[in-house]
Amino acid sequence: MEFVVDKAAKTVYITAEFSATCDLVWDAYTKPELLDQWWAPKPFASRTKVMDFKVGGRRFYAMVSPDGQERWVVQKYTSITPKTNFKLFNAFADEDENLELPGSDWDLNFSEQNGTTKVTTTIYNESLERLERMVEMGFKEGTAAQLDNLKDLLKSLKAGAA
Amino acid sequence: MDIRRDVFQAIADPTRRAIIALIALQAMTPNAIAEHFDTSRQAVSKHLRILTECELVTQEQKGREIYYSLEVEKMKEIDEWLEQYRQIWQARFDQLGEVLEIMKKKKSEE
């Protein structure tokens, strides 16, 4: 994964490659039952309440923390070119779908070469505040927990090898 | 929270970023800083006030002059936030990779 933050342009560029066809990757991004399987970094869970993948449609979902706290997000689809690109407007919301502005504009590009699919995500934030709130939501704990899991795993692997 | 939010607003402005770059090298008086910009002394003062409120710079009185210097630790904090955001995406994509493997298997079994 390549992760570049351009603070001046208030833009984040994220590029990742997956050894899967574009068809599969596109499905994983555009079907709620698949999205919910990977969108939230563990131990958080993604729970999609509404998803209508079409221009003018939206995904209304919650990031659910291990203790059951929900943080709602709305993603409005503004442009779709099947298996190539889609754009959305992303904003935090309350449980009644009232948006908390400002939000951010996302531009996702998909391209396949020799069975590998590259996804380029460009996120423009009207304010970098949003980015920081992502972290404030408690993902910090989440990632810390993940690192602990990894450390435990490495420890047990080492113990097994010794 | 408000202070943290402002930190990003602080660094989103090109003049403020230039001020940060200047005083990263050495503590400076508002007049010395203003000499580096075409904007008015008042405008520079306003930027310095915002940076101070964000705790990105500190001021120190030396004789009759006030010197502004950069809080390097605060700048590090910003990078740490960005690093956490990067980790969120890394975790997300690791999981997507796993989901895609399962999807591939299912497809080949069909």
Greatest alpha-carbon span in chain A: 58
Q: Does B3 touch chain A (CB under 8 A)?
A: no
At A99-153, the pLDDT tens digits run 988 788 999 999 999 999 999 999 888 766 655 565 555 444 444 554 455 455 5
Q: Do B95 and A142 touch (CB under 8 A)?
A: no
* Residue B24 pLDDT level (bands cut at 50, 70, 90): confident
Which residues 30-59 on chain A approach chain B with CB closer than 8 angstroms?
A: 34, 37-42
Q: Are A90 and A74 in contact (CB under 8 A)?
A: yes
ipTM passes above 0.85: no
Q: Does B25 touch chain A (CB under 8 A)?
A: no
Which of A14-28, A73-87, A136-150, B59-73 has maximum average pLDDT? A73-87
| A108 interaction partners in chain B (CB closer than 8 Å) | none
- The amino acid occupying position A24 is L
Tell which phi-psi region holds residue A83, choosing left (phi > 0), alpha (psi between -120 and 50) or beta: left
More confident position, B56 or A76: A76
Q: Does A151 touch chain B (CB under 8 A)?
A: no
Q: Are A142 and A116 in contact (CB under 8 A)?
A: no
User: Topology of A2-161 in CATH?
Assistant: Alpha-D-Glucose-1,6-Bisphosphate; Chain A, domain 4 (3.30.530)
Q: Does A140 touch chain B (CB under 8 A)?
A: yes
